[in-house]
Structure 1
Amino acid sequence: MSDDLLENYKRAYNTRVGFGKKPALILIDFCLGYFDPSCDLYGGDPIEASLKSALRVREAARAAGVPVFLTNVVYHPGGVDGGRFFEKAAPLRYFVKGHPMSAWGPGLEPFEDEIVVSKQYPSAFFGTSLASTLTAMGVDSVLLTGLTTSGCVRASCVDAMSHGFKTAVIAEACGDRHSAPHEANLFDMNAKYADVVSEDETIAFLNGLKG
């Protein structure tokens, strides 16, 4: 993208929404397959760095009393409940219930007070009770982390905004297997659907909610 076009884009899409008053943190699909070199989902150092960032944000969120949600993908044997998504995306076979690659990533075992949302499609909201649960809890905004930036994070971002939640995507706490789709999707989400924020500013915001 040329400098002139980039400046034009920024003029058209440069609105900042800000954090909400009652956020929830969502950790999207940090499954073991992305961290295991034997798996074709493996993402290497960028993926590992995103989980470490998400865990730091999670610690701050818990200390601030912010509700934490984790999503995973779970299919019936054969993937019959995955429809066209399962048909199209071959790596989804790792998410058939009980497959070892569908386990939580390193250090991400859910706490008892955290809510696990199991899904079959990219968005954490599609076909799940997530939006209703957040609304019932009085949540007005979501902080998104997870894998992958170009896939389930983006889909969840668009749906979060569409459901009326102020949406922040934490850049360092999201990951993809290549920098190009990661950066392109952060750029586009920040332009149209959410604020893309840093880990540091998110933790500072969460620390300000304490007490």
Structure 2
Amino acid sequence: MTETNLDENYRRAYDNRIGFGARPALILIDFVQAYFDPDCTLYAGVDDALASALRVRDAARKAGIPVIYTNVVYHPKALNGGRFYQKARPLQNFLAGSPLGAWPSGLEVGADELVVSKQYPSAFFGTSLASTLTCWGIDTLILTGLTTSGCVRATCVDTMSHGFIPIVVREACGDRHPAPHEANLFDMNAKYADVVSEAEALTYLQSKE
């Protein structure tokens, strides 16, 4: 199948948008120092994604919309790491107390903002995130974070699976290589979420002020 025919096939099969809901929350997934330290094996050169996510966060704060952050934290002996830790060696950077698991410069968590610590790719797996969003009356989760092909995608699929509307902000997600970044944005937009521009997300958030 040619690229043109493939694009047309996807348009016929998947050209549909859910749209934003009425009660959004924003999540910043795994924006931690490991991805910003050139000496770390997880370094991804994603400063632009963080800058975009912080602009979206500023708009969410101004609109009074809940803001959630995730990080990955393991027992000092990785007792709760499971197969994910066994497979992905760079996760050793997230043993409890590691400075590579800290927030990068420019990202400060507000006193009224929630941090969800996880051990697996999805922010939902093994955490209370779904129950929290339900309790808050949330119907839409706006996703930003790292990496697009990993924890963003896993969280996106689980957002949809738990009955929330997933909205992925393109510029506010990052990966260490453009190929998996673009491929996963494409696939999430086709099957699970609406992938929107930062500008579109900001316009929506400003409408909630």
Shorter-chain TM-score bucket reads over 0.9
CA offsets per residue over residues 62-100 of structure 1, 9 Å max, x none? 000000000000000121201000000001000000011
Alignment partner, residue 100 of structure 2: 101
TM-score by length of 2: 0.98
Alignment partner, residue 190 of structure 2: 191
Aligned to 2:26, the other structure's residue is in SS state strand
State how 1:8-27 maps to structure 2 within 5 Å.
8-27=9-28
Aligned to 2:179, the other structure's residue is in SS state helix
Distance 1:188 1:91 in 2: 25
How much has 1:2 moved relative to structure 2? 1.2
Tell me if 1:58 matches 2:57: yes
Tell me if 1:139 matches 2:138: yes
Distance 2:125 2:149 in 1: 17
CA offsets per residue over residues 90-142 of structure 1, 9 Å max, x none? 01000000011111122112110000000000000000000000000000110
Aligned to 1:173, the other structure's residue is in SS state strand
Amino acid in the other structure paired with 2:24:
P
Unaligned 5+ runs, structure 2 = none
Amino acid in the other structure paired with 1:146:
G
Structure 1 runs of 4+ off > 6 angstroms?
none
CA offsets per residue over residues 134-190 of structure 1, 9 Å max, x none? 000000110000000000000000000000001100000000000000000000000
Distance 1:15 1:76 in 2: 42
The number of equivalent residue pairs is: 208
Aligned CA RMSD, in angstroms, stands at 0.7
How much has 1:18 moved relative to structure 2? 0.3
Aligned to 1:70, the other structure's residue is in SS state strand
